[in-house]
Structure 1
């Protein structure tokens, strides 16, 4: 079950005794409700911790991580830091992720710990063979178990699909790159994924198009969204018709759609009408 907004005052707290809890990488989002600093947001996120219920998180900045630790201690919640995915791959075949982007490795590491803990607390078999754990470099939290992911876990990571998240759709000469990133950190991760995807493409004349939308209380003036020194070959076409000739001459057109889940959802409905049925 995914929390809607924050954690401390979210309706999912009606579940008084969850099996396990997890906090993924924190970002500046919903600041009008959660607070205008990462520490305030971490306090809200820590509201999902429950007495005696194991919880896991991924590496966070020192300040927010300290807040999460304090929140866990206040309710006697055992909180663990997820080791990187590399540690679980050590000496075994690399894990294949269905979701692209380097940042998805952090999410996968958290998902594996949550799955293993759930199976363990439900007395299920096939939870993965434990390996020798390496000490946590952060020293703020105990390190979660380092184990060998089972075949079903590997298949789950490989077969995961998430429409609108690091998703690529090819439509003739157009390739659409869809990601609902809407915070500074997630937009940065989206840009890294987009660049990596383009590096795998063949050469030839190409055009890159950005469709971006920012909603709510998000600040479109954030430096991450600005281009202080545009490349020499960058052509700006604020009106679509003015760039039509450039698009017609291109061998390939790469369209990045990001900034808002509403925008990505609307584009997906146009590209794949079956999603709205």
Structure 2
């Protein structure tokens, strides 16, 4: 089994995984007209300085009042403005937090985005962008990442806009596979900010956060002169801010399901209607197999707009010739198949296919550049495995591995459960992905340990945990994977502040409302035990929820999802996420024979917070 080291690889860096059976020729600095090939040695792993991080003490954040006037004065001189100044400015654009009544988009809002583009001088320039536009309920981000990696490995300068970010807002903007640099981000951010602020004096309303980030993405891609812009829809499609794109090269619809129903509607047909809103007259579109209710809407919309719509089957693994996808999980074959078709269509419609593949590669061939792109794609927080090195610093310590997936819908929760079960069983086909994976035995450690699967969970209150939790448990149990314990924890992220990856981490739990977490725990215990269980809401004298004893994870409570012999509480509500991570580390330090495999899921915010903590 291969395990991802607790470090965060810079996307686009020449880091190469193990290929146990195949060698793969990689292009170095490819151009559309010529390639330089480099042979990659077998069973070799490249590291860079970003792979390992020392343990740092956690800082307590003190509340402060933001003086935006002072921030903006400093921002007049971009060289003097700090990244946190930009984050403070962005935070003023947050107009709605999750759980507030939805504000459905409208044509008026799309017209607002167009007006912002005019102010920035981008209205005509974005028409020159050669765009791949992708919507969907699940898999649209992965599809976009695959597309970007494929075309970058074909030699093109790529721009990628995705959402949400997990640790730092710059993750949303990639140029040539790398998150935009802090320096360039500040340059383009303040250029846009100042122009829009000047117009605000004349009565123009500053855009909400996502609209601003969308026009900022267009500003970046135009200024950076990308050859291709891969754009992920934020929410829905028809009325999404990204739908100001009038003539994309090709459109894609990833898998559809029930999500954001408060905004998009309560039927699959309603949701499909919004997603199909990105179709443009006579512009080719591709989708994956859908339920009939959704497919009928997609086909009807395509017919009305004279859109050639093609349904793409999941990628055949044989075409990869033994090379693993960079994104783990069987469900990624669906996204990879869609990405291959979108990329091929983009190359053909832009007149680049014959230039890149002059030897006449046919429709059934998988060019080596496509394979390399599929193999090197990366996306934090989706089927990601991180081996915690902080708990690994002493030979006497146990083993702590985090499995992170931001699943938050019933369909994605099922996919998450299948992936986690395969990963903990050591399915080599799913664990030979990229991004710093290394072999267990290379740690020189004894792995004859007691393995326990732990769930670390939180979801937004607009989600339905009565659906999500049973779906996860039943999926894992059907594969023979049972959770020993479940931990319910609040996220660190706030919804009125945009933070950077370097922001201080709050640990004060005195005013943390854990009502939702206790509700999740009650639902969990009812699901596992089959009846309501008396739960111990333990508080210390200061009114803060106490941590469980360290032997809590080593007890003999019934396996969650397995046969329950006695009614022993198999879960706990944790007071804060930083304390939880430290508590898990202490547990393996105190128990050298213990191997904890922790699935972190239910919320991308939770996954992002855990990644931030593990990076420290």
Contact 1:8/1:45 (8 A) holds in 2: yes
SS in 2 for 1:8: coil
2:602 is matched with which residue: 259, 263, 275? 259
**Paired position in structure 2 for 1:142:** none
Instruction: Flag structure 2 segments of 5+ consecutive residues without an equivalent.
Output: 1-230, 393-398, 428-446, 474-526, 530-560, 575-579
Unaligned runs of 5+ in 1: 132-146
Contact 1:207 1:246 in 2 (8 A): no
TM-score, normalised relative to structure 1:
0.84
CA contact (8 A) 1:89 1:95 kept: no
Deviation of 1:235 after TM superposition, in Å, equals 6.5
- 1:69 is matched with which residue? 299
Query: Among 571, 576, 579, which residue is 1:237 paired with?
Result: 571
Deviation at 1:118, TM superposition (A): 0.4
Secondary structure at the counterpart of residue 188 of structure 1: helix
Structure 2 CA distance, aligned partners of 1:232 and 1:246?
25
Question: CA contact under 8 A between 1:24 and 1:58: conserved in structure 2?
Answer: yes
Give the match for residue 460 of structure 2: 215
**Which of 1 and 2 has greater Rg?**
2
Structure 1 counterpart SS, 2:412: helix
Give 1:62 shift. Answer: 1.2
- Which one of the candidate residues 110, 114, 131 is aligned to 2:338? 110
Aligned length: 256
Equivalences for 1:50-65 in 2 at 5 Å?
Answer: 50-65=280-295
- 173, 178, 182: which is aligned to 2:404? 178
Deviation, structure 1 residue 237? 3.1
Shift of 1:196: 0.1
49 and 174 in structure 1: CA distance in 2 versus 1, 3 angstrom threshold: same
Instruction: Say whether the 8 Å CA contact 1:112–1:153 is kept in structure 2.
Output: yes
Q: TM-score, normalised by structure 2?
A: 0.39
Which ranges of 4 or more aligned residues in structure 1 deviate by more than 6 Å? 241-246
Q: Quickly say closer, same or farther: Cα 1:13–1:244, change in 2 above 3 A.
A: closer
Query: Does 1 or 2 have the higher relative contact order (CA < 8 Å, sep 6+)?
Result: 2
Alpha-carbon distance in structure 2 between the residues aligned to 1:228 and 1:157? 39
Superposed, which structure 2 residues align to 1:86-165 within 5 Å? 86=316, 89=318, 93-124=321-352, 125-126=355-356, 129-131=361-363, 147-165=364-382
Of 250-259 and 104-113, deviating more is 250-259
Deviation at 1:225, TM superposition (A): 5.0
Q: Compared with structure 1, are the counterparts of its residues 243 and 18 closer, same or farther at alpha carbon in structure 2 (3 Å cutoff)?
A: closer
Judged with a 3 Å threshold, the aligned counterparts in structure 2 of structure 1 residues 207 and 123 are, in CA distance, closer, same or farther, namely same
Contact 2:417–2:472 (Cα < 8 Å) also in 1: no
CA distance in 1, matches of 2:340, 2:471: 31
2:451 & 2:587 partners in 1: Cα distance?
9
- Relative distance call for 1:95 and 1:123 in structure 2 (3 A) is farther
**Cα offset, 1:166, TM superposition:** 0.4
CA distance in 2, matches of 1:70, 1:269: 44
Distance 2:350 2:584 in 1: 58
3-state SS of paired residue (1:130): coil
SS of residue matched to 2:236: coil
2:451 and 2:318 mapped to 1: Cα distance?
37
CA-atom RMSD, angstroms?
2.6
State which drifts further: 184-193 or 230-239: 230-239
